[in-house]
Amino acid sequence: MKPPSRRPTALVALAAGAFGIGTTEFVIMGLLLQVGSDLHVGIAAAGLLISGYALGVFVGAPLLTAASSKLPRKTVLLGLMAIFTLGNLACALAPSYAVLMAARVVTSLAHGTFFGVGSVVAAGLVAPERRASAISLMFTGLTLATLLGVPAGTWLGHIAGWRATFRAVAGIGVLALLVIGALVPADRDRHAPIPLRAELRAVAQPAVLLGLATTVLGFAGVFTVFTYVQPLLTRVSGFPDATVSPILLLVGVGLVIGNLLGGRLADRRLAPALVGSLLALAVVLALTGTALHARLPAVLAMGLFGVAAFATVAPLQLWVLQKAAGAPNLASSLNIGAFNLGNALGAWLGGAVIEHGAGLSAVPYAGALVTLAGAAVALAGLRAARRSPARLVACER
């Protein structure tokens, strides 16, 4: 089969959707104190708004993927962006904590399937040896959300209130909807639906299941810290509130660099990139725990944290896509759900350490330990793959 031509504009369109979704997922981290104060809840309860979103992704990703399996992929992507936009409008209008939580969950339903189906579309737009880089390019929208969307949303939330931030994100959703409609090609949407039983068999392989578990544990370390980045910087490092946005900007630069670096490394040698990126993340998290007690080391650690965090994304996503090649949509969406289950686990773990453990200062060390557990599971997955190697079939176009 002739390798597909590159479609950089289509990848940019997918990245635009990722930007909007990433902004709404991450921006609340810079607004935890404002949301908590306005809705009369504590930091840990406000952090659960992140856990609720993540759990919504975890549950919604496989369900929506299965329900939309017979639809053209472009149609699915457009429908998901519509859900995203309406969900953010509901967040902006939420009169109470419970309603905001419900609106966040509704918004999250678009997340997993968008990134899952979008990863398959991105991989199908390029030659096989460029798949990890194509996936990482789509995820660049997510990293740019942290680089630009989150600091801007945090600033807007401090100036005009957190509700204004969610109204702005809904506007981003409208723009992303238009860009995807204009630039993502429809010709590659023609695919025969895979029977659900066959997809379930493909994802039930030990290497795939261990890959999903690796994603959960490996990425949980990121959100153990990232969820509570505002109180960590203000209450441990001693930064004033006004400096949180610039530091988040630095983290965003690191995320962009790490995301692209992870894609390149995974294209070259996937298995070493998978394990190596997780080990590097665990080391950086442990160093962050020490660095937070002084301002300059804290700033440097935050930038390095960004690089290490998203260097794991492309290897984790491509591993599951390859090992479950017969079920690309479901496997990819499940892995996005696994990322977000890790987010929820990390947010819960950080909150537990704060409320019932050693306090804010111990949060990065807890993150390092859970990421190390993910690296151990990754090694088990590599052994399972060697015992029962999966046939690497090209991702469906």
Mean pLDDT of the chain: 84
CA dihedral 206, 207, 209, 215 (to 10 degrees): 160
The per-residue pLDDT for 187 is 54
CATH code at 148? 1.20.1250.20
Q: How confident is the model at residue 289 (pLDDT cuts 50, 70, 90)?
A: very high
**What is the per-residue pLDDT across 227-270, written as a single tens digit (0 to 9) for each?**
888 889 999 999 988 888 788 888 888 988 998 899 889 888 89
pLDDT higher than 80, residue 177: yes
Q: Which domain holds residue 175?
A: 8-387
**What is the per-residue pLDDT across 77-107, written as a single tens digit (0 to 9) for each?**
899 999 999 999 999 998 999 999 999 988 8
Residue 143 lies in a domain: yes
Residue 68 lies in a domain: yes
Q: What is the DSSP string of 53-71?
A: HHHHHHHHHHHHHHHTTTS
**What is the per-residue pLDDT across 249-259, written as a single tens digit (0 to 9) for each?**
888 889 889 98
Q: Which residues have CB under 8 Å from 13's CB, separation 6+?
A: 179, 180, 182, 183, 184
Residue 60 lies in a domain: yes
Q: Taking the CA of residue 89 as centre, how many other CA atoms within 13 Å lie in the half-sphere pointing to its CB?
A: 9
Our count of domains for the chain comes to 1
Residue 375 lies in a domain: yes
Length of the chain: 397
Q: Which residues have CB under 8 Å from 211's CB, separation 6+?
A: 316, 319, 320, 323, 335, 378, 381
pLDDT higher than 70, residue 348: yes
Residue 393 lies in a domain: no
Residue 340 lies in a domain: yes
Residue 394 lies in a domain: no
Residue 392 lies in a domain: no
First to last CA, the chain: 11
Q: How confident is the model at residue 147 (pLDDT cuts 50, 70, 90)?
A: confident
